[in-house]
Structure 1
Amino acid sequence: MARSPLVSATLQSAILSATSNVLAQAITAYRSEKPFTVDWVPVFQFFLFTVVSTPPNFLWQEFLESTFPAQKTTPTPEAINSASANNEKELDREASEGRLVESKLNIRNTVIKFLLDQTIGAAINTLMFSMFMHSIQAAMSHRTTGADASVSFLASGKALDYSQVNWRVVLERSRLDFMPIMSAGWRLWPFVSLFNFVVVKSVEVRNLVGSLAGVAWGDLYESGGGEVAWLSLGGGQEFKAQWRFIR
């Protein structure tokens, strides 16, 4: 049985998420001239976030496309000329050849989708990302092992303990992070969003384009020595917010 587009998109994004995190760690190790050891804890955190966040984002994009279709159907110039001349024979011939109407980009709908995606969509995604990351970091704050023992920590069955999460602290830190992350995201995602809405026709491919853009941008920006976006987690900890999730 074929997988649904939603399931396929989620699996696809989750795999790219994990891959991107490993690449980012490799780049960081290379730049700092330290031995490279994969820390599977952040890989797990970003993988899990992607599994949770992709379905609502996919449904959001489907809603935008169904409510504001990218294409509109208009008569072709030939059909307009034939109709103006009352040339029924020519109209019949154009109809048989499929040249009566053509699809064109609906600029009004594209602008509406773009604005909704970069305001409401971006705000919800930013808040969801920040709250998820702050809470899962707090739930795993009892970790005492390094990267070399990250698999054992995750497999212990005690890696996540949400009873130690202070949700008031999570909300406050998410509030403080909101505008910095939104501002960081606006440096990239408006261009990706516009490309998707103008060029890419299907929601499935748009999801792939967004994921690939995040992988490329996050890793290239990291390798160039730039700061991406940082969540201050307290206790001297910092956790990098990969660009692909700031949408």
Structure 2
Amino acid sequence: MGLSPITTATIQSAILSATSNIVAQAITAYRGDKSFTVDWVPVFQFLLFTIVSTPPNFMWQDSLEAAYPATTSVPSSEAISSASRSNEKELDREAREGKLVEAKLNVPNTIIKFILDQSIGAAVNTLLFSLFTHSIQQAMSHRTTGPDESAAFLVSGWGSSDGPLDYSQVNWRLVLEEAKSEFYPIMKAGWALWPWVSLFNFVVVKSVEVRSLVGALAGMVWGVYMSLISAR
């Protein structure tokens, strides 16, 4: 039995998210003229967020498509031509071949999905990303090792007070303030990319599964940008 579409989408997005963070680290090292060593802590943070956020995003896209289908079935040009000539033989042939109707882009539905995705969807994703990122960074702020020992830090002490994640040290008021302060700048930066991705998905791509892959590929580019922002 193959993987479910939502599981496949999550795995694809997770791989691309981790890759984008590593690329961002390489860019930072190059800009600073420093040797490059992968710091697995931010990779883990981005990977975890992607694993958590991809399933609800997939379901969001699925619900949009269910509520506002991309296409509407209309009589095909061949069927209209045959009907206008009262050609029953041709109509029967077209019926057997499944050519009586064809899919036509539903423009009103596409506009509605685009608006909902770029307003509610974008706002919720931006807010949750900021809340998650700042909280997990604070939860791992007790780290004293460098990139060379980042993998050891991540695998040590799980289930104990010495583990890599300690949410008791998170200042949630500060996390909320940071999320609020960067909300508009992140949204504004996203307007250069995500509306075009959304429009391409809704107009050109038919299945939610492929839309998820397109979004993940675009998310890799966006992930590099966000990784650079988060590393400041």
TM-score (norm 2): 0.91
Distance in 2, Cα, partners of 1:228 & 1:165: 21
Q: Tell me if structure 2 keeps the 8 A contact 1:13–1:50.
A: yes
Tell me the SS of whatever aligns to 1:73. strand
**Which deviations, in whole Å up to 9, do the C-alpha atoms of 1:3-22 show, x marking residues without a partner?**
11111111111111111111
**Greater RCO structure (CA 8 Å; 6+ sep):** 2
Distance in 2, Cα, partners of 1:126 & 1:12: 20
2:18 matched to 1:13?
A: no
Tell me the SS of whatever aligns to 2:231. strand
- What percentage of aligned pairs have identical amino acids? 69
Alignment of 1:107-122 (within 5 A): 107-122=107-122
1:184 maps to 189
Q: Give structure 2 stretches of 5+ with no counterpart.
A: 158-162
TM-score (norm 1): 0.86
Tell me the SS of whatever aligns to 1:72. strand
2:54 matched to 1:49?
A: no
How far apart are residue 228 of structure 1 and its match?
Answer: 8.2
Distance 1:195 1:181, change over 3 A: same
Tell me the SS of whatever aligns to 1:3. coil
How far apart are residue 216 of structure 1 and its match?
Answer: 3.8
1:127 maps to 127
Bigger shift: residues 53-62 or 73-82 = 73-82
- Aligned partner letter, 1:49: F
Tell me the SS of whatever aligns to 1:125. helix
2:231 matched to 1:239?
A: yes
Q: Tell me if structure 2 keeps the 8 A contact 1:76–1:99.
A: yes
Q: Give structure 1 stretches of 5+ with no counterpart.
A: 231-237, 241-247
Tell me the SS of whatever aligns to 1:108. helix
1:91 maps to 91
Alignment of 1:194-205 (within 5 A): 194-205=199-210
- Aligned partner letter, 1:113: K
Alignment of 1:16-165 (within 5 A): 16-157=16-157, 158-165=163-170
2:166 matched to 1:174?
A: no
The number of equivalent residue pairs is: 227
Distance 1:55 1:73, change over 3 A: same
Distance in 1, Cα, partners of 2:125 & 2:223: 17
How far apart are residue 97 of structure 1 and its match?
Answer: 3.3
How far apart are residue 229 of structure 1 and its match?
Answer: 7.0
Q: Tell me if structure 1 keeps the 8 A contact 2:24–2:228.
A: no
Distance 1:228 1:164, change over 3 A: closer
Q: Find runs of 4+ consecutive structure 1 residues off by over 6 angstroms.
A: none
Q: Tell me if structure 1 keeps the 8 A contact 2:28–2:228.
A: no
- Aligned partner letter, 2:124: I
**Which deviations, in whole Å up to 9, do the C-alpha atoms of 1:125-146 show, x marking residues without a partner?**
0111000001001101111111
Distance in 2, Cα, partners of 1:217 & 1:172: 23
**Which deviations, in whole Å up to 9, do the C-alpha atoms of 1:78-123 show, x marking residues without a partner?**
3223334444343223323332111111111111111100000001
Q: Alpha carbon RMSD of aligned pairs, Å?
A: 1.9
Distance in 2, Cα, partners of 1:93 & 1:30: 64
Distance in 1, Cα, partners of 2:203 & 2:123: 22
Distance in 2, Cα, partners of 1:191 & 1:92: 42
- Aligned partner letter, 1:161: D
- Aligned partner letter, 2:20: S
